[in-house]
A and B are shown apart, each in its own frame.
Chain A
Amino acid sequence: EAGVTQSPTHLIKTRGQQATLRCSPISGHTSVYWYQQALGLGLQFLLWYDEGEERNRGNFPPRFSGRQFPNYSSELNVNALELEDSALYLCASNMGTNYGRDGYTFGSGTRLTVV
């Protein structure tokens, strides 16, 4: 069974540009979660999508947005990139709202560097 896949693995952008990160959940998983992990810091929750809808949002500015497609894959968009957006962006998936008790599985992440 394929795990959570993220693309690209690395992304370099200049300040002010936009970045698009993609995530495909494990087959059968309907929920996708996005996290930001800056170097040496903990995971910060960004967004949660379930069944195509945004269910919860972390404490991030509106230039961080995303969506979930009918096939449950998701993309994260970061507009007007700032240097401090440089981080590892992790996507995780599980079977949805009532399956939080099972934890979730992470993808290997996209490392975004803003120069």
Chain B
Amino acid sequence: RKEVEQDPGPFNVPEGATVAFNCTYSNSASQSFFWYRQDCRKEPKLLMSVYSSGNEDGRFTAQLNRASQYISLLIRDSKLSDSATYLCVVISGNFNKFYFGSGTKLNVKP
């Protein structure tokens, strides 16, 4: 079983829609969680950290469910510019083991 799993998508949504991605992880001792955004042929860029209490940054909300071992990313009022691949990152083992999901592709259509 992979350490981190994501639905590759693509998720095709109209502008203004709300879309959510999940990312499951296998190591219950995982400590830090992040969402990165990667545009085509570019490097990943940190979108947001995921805190135990959940966190929100504008239209983006990240949540952690330790009991079910998944993190989620919710995007409200989708914009065309949100089209990208969203990668989850899970860090375990005293911050020295980090695993990327293979990414979920989002296409926001006009």
A and B: bona fide binding partners: yes
Q: Which residues of A contact B (CB under 8 A)?
A: 33, 35, 41-43, 45, 48, 55-56, 88, 90, 97-109
Q: Which residues from chain B contact A108 at a C-beta distance below 8 Å?
A: 42-43
- Report if B11 contacts A (CB, 8 A): no
Q: How far is the CA of A48 from the CA of B96 in the complex (A)?
A: 9
Taking A43-B44, A98-B95, A103-B49 as known contacts, 18 extra A-B pairs with beta carbons closer than 8 A to each other, sorted by chain A number, are A41-B102, A42-B103, A43-B87, A45-B98, A45-B100, A56-B96, A88-B41, A100-B96, A101-B49, A101-B95, A102-B49, A103-B34, A103-B89, A106-B43, A106-B45, A107-B43, A108-B43, A109-B43
Q: How far is the CA of A89 from the CA of B46 in the complex (A)?
A: 17
Secondary structure of the B contact surface, majority rule = strand
Q: How far is the CA of A98 from the CA of B87 in the complex (A)?
A: 22
Closest 10 CB pairs of A and B: A100-B95, A42-B102, A106-B43, A43-B100, A101-B32, A103-B34, A100-B91, A103-B46, A108-B43, A106-B44
Q: Which residues from chain B contact A104 at a C-beta distance below 8 Å?
A: 46
Q: Which residues from chain B contact A105 at a C-beta distance below 8 Å?
A: 46
For residue A54, give the distance in angstroms from its CB to the closest CB of chain B.
12
Residue of B nearest to A94 (CB): B95
Q: Which residues from chain A contact B91 at a C-beta distance below 8 Å?
A: 100-101
Q: Which residues from chain A contact B46 at a C-beta distance below 8 Å?
A: 103-105
- Report if B68 contacts A (CB, 8 A): no
Q: Which residues from chain B contact A41 at a C-beta distance below 8 Å?
A: 102
Q: Which residues from chain B contact A102 at a C-beta distance below 8 Å?
A: 49
For residue B22, give the distance in angstroms from its CB to the closest CB of chain A.
16
Chain B 41-76, CB-CB to A under 8 Å as 1, else 0, gives 111111001000000000000000000000000000
Q: How far is the CA of A98 from the CA of B32 in the complex (A)?
A: 11
